[in-house]
Homo-oligomer: A and B are copies of this chain.
Amino acid sequence: MPHARVHNFSISLDGFATGEPQSLEAPFGHAGERLHEWMFATRFWDESGSAGVDDSFAQRNTVGIGAEIMGANKFGPPEWQDDPEWKGWWGDNPPFHSPTFVLTHRPRPPLAMEGGTTYHFLDASPAEALAAAFEAADGQDVRIGGGATVVRDFVAAGLVDFMHLVQVPIVLGRGSRVWDGLEAVEDDYGIEAVSAPSGVTHLTFTRKSAG
**Contact surface of A with B, Cβ cutoff 8 Å:** 13-15, 167, 169-174, 177, 179-186, 191-195, 199-201, 203
Contacts and interface: CB of A to CB of B under 8 A. Distances in A.
Contacts of A15: 13-15
Given A13-B179, A15-B15, A171 B199 contact: no
Given A13-B15, A15-B15, A169 B203 contact: yes
A169 B195 contact: no
A193 B191 contact: no
A173 B182 CA distance: 7
B191 A169 contact: yes
A167 to B, nearest CB: 8
A105 to B, nearest CB: 27
B203 A13 contact: yes
Contacts of A195: 193-195, 201
State the 6 A-B residue pairs at the shortest beta-carbon distance, nearest first: A173-B183, A14-B179, A169-B191, A193-B195, A195-B195, A170-B186
A15 B15 CA distance: 8
Contacts of A193: 167, 169, 195, 199-201
Contacts of A201: 193, 195, 201
A130 B124 CA distance: 55
A182 B16 CA distance: 13
Most chain B C-beta atoms within 10 Å of own C-beta, residue among A185, A191, A193: A193
Given A15-B15, A179-B13, A171 B192 contact: no
Contacts of A194: 195
A179 B173 CA distance: 7
Contact of A199 (B177, B184, B191): B191
A30 to B, nearest CB: 9
Contact of A182 (B171, B186, B199): B171
A35 to B, nearest CB: 12
